[in-house]
Amino acid sequence: MKTVQDFQILADLHTHTVASTHAYSTVNEMAAAAAETGVRLLGITDHGPGSPDAPHLWHFHNYKILPREIGGVKLLYGVEANIMDEHGTLDMDEHELSFCEWVVASYHTSCVTFDRTPALVSQGYRGVCENPLVDVIGHPTTAMFPFDYEPVLKYCKEAGKLIELNESSLQWKKGALENAKTVYAICKKYEIPIVLNTDAHYAGLVGRTPIAEQLLRGLDFPLRLIYSLDRDWIAETAEKKRKRYL
């Protein structure tokens, strides 16, 4: 079984452009940075409309005008949708999500009002798993949204959802690194697939995951469970799923 040594992710599936107003780079700048770091599939996933800094819904409707490839980097256009409540309701319905090729679903404190107990957050994640258009559970290690790790992560696997290891959270979110040690040990134990994403809000951060890689090396995490290393699988999965559900 091959485990993590030194590697380069080939797919960075959670990034933000200037369309999210607390991000700082254009699509072209993000793609150029991806090419420089060895990323060959770049997910553009600006914030869904529930976020204070989100673009207008027309932003997602107009993805069709953008190129499929820039400088040798394939582009996957999607959204970081917001989980709005303890039931797993997203801030975009099926019609709106139909314009997106890749959907990361995340909790953010700016979007919720319920009491963030482990039981209610766990219930919310289970609700998200019932949405066939969601691909990834975003940054599940933040201390602001505690949940019952083992049963929820196993449920995510059963529902076919990837679990994100988010470099930005590990670097900037209090408690995320310690929580991540538990979350990804469970993923290893139950063979739950993950993706390494940067959540880059600036081009210079695309494809760079040193903290996440160190964490995975410490866990002796199997390479076969890291789907960011298989660009073609991600692209084919996204295409097949959209054809099936939309």
Distance CA 184, CA 178 (A): 10
126 with 163: CB under 8 angstroms?
no
Q: Please tell me the predicted confidence (pLDDT) of residue 14.
A: 98
Decide which of 3.40.50.300, 3.20.20.140, 3.40.50.360, 2.60.40.10 is the CATH code for 11-245: 3.20.20.140
Q: Are 189 and 157 in contact (CB under 8 A)?
A: no
pLDDT at 179 over 70: yes
d(CA 76, CA 216): 25
Domain range summary for the chain, segments of one domain joined by +: 11-245
* 7: pLDDT strictly greater than 90: no
Give residues with Cβ within 8 angstroms of 233, minimum separation 6. Answer: 227
Instruction: Give the pLDDT band (50/70/90) at residue 4.
Output: low
Angle, vertex CA 218, rays to CA 216 and CA 224, nearest 5: 35
CA distance 138 to 125: 10
Please write the tens of the pLDDT for every residue from 117-132: 999 999 999 999 999 9
pTM of the model: 0.95
Report the C-alpha gap between 169 and 5 in whole angstroms. 22
Q: What is the pLDDT of residues 64-97, one digit of tens each?
A: 999 999 999 999 999 999 999 999 999 999 999 9
Angstrom CA distances, 127 to 56, 89, 105, 159, stand at 25, 7, 11, 11
Output the pLDDT for position 114. Answer: 97
Distance, CA of 121 to CA of 145 (rounded, Å)? 6
Distance between CA atoms of residues 41 and 192, nearest Å: 22
